[in-house]
Amino acid sequence: MTSNLLNQLKEYVTPDVISQASGILGESEGGVSKSVSVALPTLLSGFVNKSNDSGFMNGIMNLVTETKSSGNVLLNLPPILSGGKASEIGSKLLSLLFDGKQSSITDLIANSGGIKSSSAGSLLTMLGPLILGYFGKSGMSSSDVTNLLSSERNNILSVAPAGLGSLLGFAGNYREDVSDTVRPVKDDDRGGGFPKWLLALLLIGGGIVLLYLLTKGCNKEKTEEKMEEVTDSVKVNMDSLGEDIKDAATEVKDAAVSLGEFLKIKLQNGVELNAPELGIENQLVKWIEDKTKVVDKTTWFNFDRLLFDTGKSTLRPESQEQLKNIAEILKAYPTVEIKLGGYTDNVGDPALNLKLSDERAKSVMAELVKLGVPASRMTAEGYGEQHPVASNDTEEGRAQNRRISIRVTKK
């Protein structure tokens, strides 16, 4: 599951911010965008690495206070690249996070985005105050920050760049540390989703039927000989099939682990939902019921159990459980209004991606209307490959970028 914290932070790094940063640093917009996609999870991983150190957290909260006094950095990120108070705060943060390993971390970012090391260092100095400013804007205490980082630990570390773990003193890289946590697929663009074990079974069965038809006219001895050959082949294939079934069972188990255990979520109207602890339903209900949470343009919640037909906006049957849950949430909180956002990876034609993302967002909205949610309480828009939450250089990253999200526009 995509880190909700990372997703929210990325909303502040708008295309305009990327463009301005590109001009200041003298780098391509593509290079800056890729570097930001790696730098943010790198910084957050540094936070996660030390979040249980009280001395570190005291230092962080002091920097949060300093960031507040330096102005609204969340809306003025590019100027940090040119120096000033916020830039100094960013440098202090890097020292706290990486203990003199800034040079290696900077090189890691630079290599990922294909930019100069000096530019990568400047981006880290800009993005550090972004995180601090976000904590300050949210009014978080030291314990709030620690709890947030703990709850999002696996999600953050799962998208950290390879090699970061060894730099920060972990055994292996972060991906190895969280290898038992598999992000559930949100949007299957890899095919129709036909289970490989079922396909193998059908092929084996089809082979037996075909051989029967071919040998129907042969003499008994020959037929028996052929059938014996097929039987041996089936035994071999069934052994292999058994491994496939085991793999499929493991994938399902790991996906469930990544979202936590299913639990009963009671809504204010008495309706109970069956949903995973870390799924969108529980996150959304908690946010709606929390009176300290205010509507903004950066807080998005990602669907985690939606599936579409390949290259289409047609929702697959497996999506119904989560769609019904979201509909029940909106019915239970009748003053809430939402916006649905559709996103893709950067593979293919950008115009077609934009069109597909828009159609998918509207398809989800239409389904919610069918489930009893008034259309007047919802809007839907596609953003195509804009606002990636992970690097598009890997299949894992591209899968995370293909998503449908919800933003509450009125409580």
What is 160-211 written as a DSSP string? SPTTHHHHTT-SS-HHHHTTT--PPPSS--SSS---HHHHHHHHHHHHHHHH
pLDDT tens-digit readout, 207-243 = 554 544 444 444 444 444 544 554 444 444 444 444 4
- pLDDT of 40 over the 50 cut: yes
Across the chain, mean pLDDT equals 80
DSSP 387: S
pLDDT tens-digit readout, 75-123 = 889 899 988 898 999 999 998 898 778 888 898 898 888 899 899 999 9
pLDDT for res 255: 44
Distance CA 118, CA 110 (A): 8
pLDDT range class, residue 258, cuts 50, 70, 90: low
Q: Which of 119, 162, 157, 172 is nearest to 6 (CA)?
A: 157
- pLDDT of 55 over the 60 cut: yes
pLDDT for res 188: 43
Q: Which of 380, 388, 379, 386 is nearest to 354 (CA)?
A: 386
**What CATH architecture is 261-410?**
2-Layer Sandwich (3.30)
pLDDT for res 170: 56
**Structural domain spans, the chain:** 4-177, 196-257, 261-410
Distance CA 196, CA 207 (A): 16
Distance CA 77, CA 18 (A): 10
Q: Which of 150, 170, 152 is nearest to 161 (CA)?
A: 170
pLDDT for res 161: 80
- pTM passes above 0.75: no
- pLDDT of 277 over the 60 cut: yes
The number of beta carbons lying within 10 Å of the beta carbon of residue 205 is 11
